[in-house]
């Protein structure tokens, strides 16, 4: 019988954001399914931002390969002409989970990532949790120095320098809380300057609780 970390047996919707062709998508989906099976009811959505037919087919093949009664996997293709709020509302209409977990297709989570990411939700006052993201690409010297200082000085507060751009790779948020946000459309920001995911976090940044034990490794080659 699967264990649950929740007082009210909350269900999960794990959203894998795919921007390019992630060579490790198959392994990521396997890992997500394995971890989510230990925590109860869940669904996985492959949110495809890339209109390349190869990426679309990859998402479809992955969904067919792993989807079953216990693990529903749904590929969703984002229409590049779709308005920001329409995309946002479409996502909320599809997800079944009470908690939404976002991870990027070029990330690989540690073994206890999902458990650690959602554990703080036992506190009913917490609405959004962010995990740690570690880059595994070779960094330029300046970035290496900055990263070292960042790790030494801010051991408990590892907040990304650009929360709107990077943290969506490892974050969990209550669906009810997200639905309460008035609007994710900011008329004074041009489309090319801010993505729809960034706007989700733009309205809820002040609520974020950081949990460094929920760790993923991000590969920028994918």
Backbone angles phi, psi at 47, to 5 degrees: -90, 105
The pLDDT, as a whole number, for residue 6 is: 47
User: Which residue(s) pair with 12 in the sheet?
Assistant: 42, 99
Highest mean pLDDT range out of 96-105, 176-185, 194-203?
A: 96-105
**If pLDDT is split at 50, 70 and 90, which confidence band does 13 have?**
very high
Q: Are 191 and 84 in contact (CB under 8 A)?
A: yes
What percentage of the chain exceeds 90 in pLDDT?
28
Beta strand 42-48 with 12-18 is parallel
Predicted confidence (pLDDT) at residue 216 exceeds the cutoff of 80: yes
Predicted confidence (pLDDT) at residue 192 exceeds the cutoff of 60: no
The pLDDT, as a whole number, for residue 113 is: 96
Instruction: Please state the domain extents for the chain.
Output: 12-218
Three-state DSSP at 193 gives helix
CA–CA distance, 209 with 222 (Å, rounded to integer): 28
**If pLDDT is split at 50, 70 and 90, which confidence band does 188 have?**
very low
Helices (H) and strands (E) in the chain, counts: 8, 8
> Quick one: which H or E segment has residue 13?
strand 12-18
CA–CA distance, 11 with 6 (Å, rounded to integer): 9
The pLDDT, as a whole number, for residue 44 is: 93
Predicted confidence (pLDDT) at residue 195 exceeds the cutoff of 60: no
CA–CA distance, 154 with 148 (Å, rounded to integer): 10
Beta strand 99-104 with 170-174 is antiparallel
Least confident of 47-61, 69-83, 136-150: 136-150
- Averaged pLDDT for residues 156-179: 66
- Averaged pLDDT for residues 56-84: 82
Predicted confidence (pLDDT) at residue 76 exceeds the cutoff of 70: yes
pLDDT tens digits, 141-160: 545 555 455 455 444 443 43
**If pLDDT is split at 50, 70 and 90, which confidence band does 70 have?**
confident
> Quick one: which H or E segment has residue 133?
strand 128-135
CA 213 to chain centre: 16
Q: What DSSP string runs through 52-69?
A: -HHHHHHHHHHHHHH--S
Highest mean pLDDT range out of 57-71, 82-96, 193-207?
A: 57-71
**Summary mean pLDDT of the chain:** 75
What's 12-218's CATH class? Answer: alpha beta
- Averaged pLDDT for residues 73-94: 74
Can you tell me which residue has the tokens 């590929």? Answer: 75
Q: Are 134 and 218 in contact (CB under 8 A)?
A: yes
């Amino acid at each position: 019988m699967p264990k649950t970390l929740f007082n009210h047996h909350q269900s999960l919707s794990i959203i894998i954001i795919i921007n390019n062709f992630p060579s490790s998508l198959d392994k990521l989906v396997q890992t997500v399914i394995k971890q989510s099976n230990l925590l109860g009811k869940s669904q996985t959505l492959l949110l495809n931002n890339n209109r390349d037919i190869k990426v679309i087919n990859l998402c479809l093949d992955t969904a067919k390969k792993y989807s079953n009664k216990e693990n529903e996997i749904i590929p969703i293709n984002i229409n590049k002409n779709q308005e920001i709020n329409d995309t946002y509302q479409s996502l909320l209409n599809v997800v079944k989970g009470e908690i939404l977990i976002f991870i990027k297709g070029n990330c690989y989570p540690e073994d206890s990532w999902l458990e650690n990411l959602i554990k703080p939700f036992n506190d009913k006052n917490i609405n959004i949790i962010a995990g740690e993201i570690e880059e595994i690409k070779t960094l330029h010297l300046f970035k290496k120095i900055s990263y070292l200082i960042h790790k030494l000085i801010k051991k408990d507060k590892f907040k990304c320098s650009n929360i709107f751009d990077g943290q969506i790779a490892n974050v969990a948020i209550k669906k009810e809380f997200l639905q309460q946000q008035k609007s994710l459309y900011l008329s004074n920001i041009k489309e090319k300057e801010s993505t729809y995911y960034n706007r989700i976090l733009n309205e809820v940044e002040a609520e974020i609780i950081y949990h460094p034990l929920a760790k993923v490794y991000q590969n920028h080659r994918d």
